[in-house]
Structure 1
Amino acid sequence: MSKVFYDLKSIIGKAVRYIDTRFDLGDGDTGSKMFEKEHIEGAIYWDLEKDLSDMESKNGRHPMISKDKMTKLIRQAGLTLDDSIIIYDQGGSPFALRAYFLLEWAGFSDIHVLREGFEEAKKVLPVSDLNQNYPLSNVSPIWKDELYVDIETVKKIVAGEVDAQLIDARSAIRYRGEVEPIDAVAGHIPTALNFDWEQLKQDGKFMKQKALIEKLTDLTDNSKPVIAYCGSGVTAAPLYASLKEAGYENVQLYVGSYSDWIRENEVETSLM
């Protein structure tokens, strides 16, 4: 069973590399400004749109980045596959988990997301406003392409050619097609179940493993692959990680998500 989330008390005094991923979907400069003001000492900053997405791609609003871009990103950060890495954001947000997914895809294994956000972390960890420069690494990622699916695979799932369960991480009213504030078409990918990712949080933090197991164990059949998606692939990352922490053994992420699917495919609207 995967252990994705770490509590502050479990990392105090340990030698780890920190990655700050604070971001605001409504103001793309907010995260970097917060980082420049203060961050956990030694942390580097990865921006959701500049670093963790390929915003030039048309495959959704926050498309999957290329292997070349990911390799460059981790080498510039001076990371190696043996590093122990802690990723944080504001807390209860999807941004650290997007970075977690991409690092897992690149072959990193000792990576965890801080359950608490920065404001709590800075009460017990040293902070700084200085940018830490690390020597470039020459790491060669060990890609785990089985962690994500593309639109062609999703088409096969919808057609019944691949036995897997899609899970929509958006709100129920968006899933049902009652409201769609962002995308041009309302509804969901056919055959998908719905589980609002906001249900994974308690008191502004992601639930502990025991609570996630209780919440997610009976969501769907654990014997077949489950694929998390959302609107643009960002808020699906918490569902992806939480399913893993809850004991699902074959979890994947459709990074293009609903915004990619609706470019050329039919949707469903339904009452749950």
Structure 2
Amino acid sequence: MNNVFVSIKDVNASDVKWIDARFSLADANEGKRLYNESHITGAVHWDLNEDLSDLTKKDGRQPMPSKESLGDLFRRSGLNLDDNIFVYDDGGSPFATRAWWFLQYAGFENAFIVIEGFEEMKASGLPVDNETALPKKSSVNPRWNELIYATRDFVEKTVAGETANQLIDARAPNRYRGDVEPLDRVAGHIPGALNFDWEQLKQDGKFRFDESIQEKISNLANSNQQVTVYCGSGVTASPLFAMLSHYGHENIRLYVGSYSDWVSKEDAKVEKG
């Protein structure tokens, strides 16, 4: 187990840096509003649309930001590669895992996802305020880990049988099968992909870590298997990436563009059923 997820009871709050990743897909301003109302003292806010995506690109609904913009985000957040960093959201959401994935991609090896949501963290006695954090800017230079990032070209090679990767689709089964498609141009899934609905990772609004989840994760892929996870826009696949990592899987990539990027090309091949 790699301890990607941690409980607040295991956090030494005197020597950490906090990232508030709260967001709502239904209301793009909610995360910023919640942060401005109250957040863990010293936390900086990372917005899914403004910081963890580049919406000017055409590579899916939540496209990959440039390395330049990510590097600037890390520096203005005051981060250094050896910092102990803890990311939180409302609990059981895919936004802290999305932020954590970018930290992994950039080489921040001591970054963790808090299992509990903000309200539970607040109730535990962690200090909160509504002051916008203004950390001292760092001069960090990320160490990019390309082995956890799947480009569209890599996925195309995987579909063509040119890599040893297994694609895993983290969307709901009815979207995977192509029964419905509320968001993207074409219904179905990337050819050859297996389905594992990321919602299975939760119970009562929180990520679960019981024997049932461990069994599901081990049945999905053995620890040495090379897998690439995707979803609709690259957001809800990040909890599956994080959970696989937590249980010791090391050969995992995230297709950030995901299905919305895949079907952006007119000649994209899809499967149904």
Q: TM-score, normalised by structure 2?
A: 0.96
CA RMSD, 1 decimal: 1.2
Give the letter for the 1:261 counterpart.
Answer: W
Which stretch shifts more, 11-20 or 186-195? 11-20
Q: How does 1:13-52 map to 2 (within 5 A)?
A: 13-52=13-52
Which of 260, 268, 272 aligns to 1:269? It is: 272
Contact map agreement 2:188 2:272 (CA 8 A) in 1: yes
Q: State the 1:158 CA deviation.
A: 0.7
Contact map agreement 1:217 1:247 (CA 8 A) in 2: no
Identity %: 51
Deviation readout 1:11-67 (Å, 9 max, x if unpaired): 154421110010000110000000000001111100000000011110010011111
Give the letter for the 1:72 counterpart.
Answer: D
Deviation readout 1:212-263 (Å, 9 max, x if unpaired): 3222101134433101100000000001111111222201100000000012
Deviation readout 1:139-189 (Å, 9 max, x if unpaired): 111110111111111111111111110000000000000011111110000
The 3-state SS of whatever aligns with 2:42 is: coil
Contact map agreement 2:185 2:264 (CA 8 A) in 1: no
Q: TM-score, normalised by structure 1?
A: 0.96
Match of 2:240 in 1: 239
Instruction: Determine the C-alpha separation between the residues in 2 that align with 1:5 and 1:202.
Output: 15
The 3-state SS of whatever aligns with 2:220 is: coil
Which stretch shifts more, 5-14 or 67-76? 5-14
Contact map agreement 2:20 2:89 (CA 8 A) in 1: yes
Match of 1:101 in 2: 101
Contact map agreement 1:38 1:128 (CA 8 A) in 2: yes
Which stretch shifts more, 139-148 or 169-178? 139-148
Unpaired segments of 5 or more residues in structure 2? none
Match of 2:67 in 1: 67
Match of 1:197 in 2: 198
The 3-state SS of whatever aligns with 1:33 is: helix
Instruction: Determine the C-alpha separation between the residues in 2 that align with 1:232 and 1:222.
Output: 25
Contact map agreement 1:24 1:31 (CA 8 A) in 2: yes
Is 2:130 the counterpart of 1:132?
A: no
Contact map agreement 2:94 2:238 (CA 8 A) in 1: yes
Match of 2:185 in 1: 184
Give the letter for the 1:66 counterpart.
Answer: S
Instruction: Determine the C-alpha separation between the residues in 2 that align with 1:228 and 1:134.
Output: 34
Give the letter for the 1:109 counterpart.
Answer: E
Match of 2:11 in 1: 11
**Alignment length, in residue pairs?**
270
Contact map agreement 1:168 1:196 (CA 8 A) in 2: yes
Unpaired segments of 5 or more residues in structure 1? none
The 3-state SS of whatever aligns with 1:64 is: coil
Q: State the 1:135 CA deviation.
A: 1.0
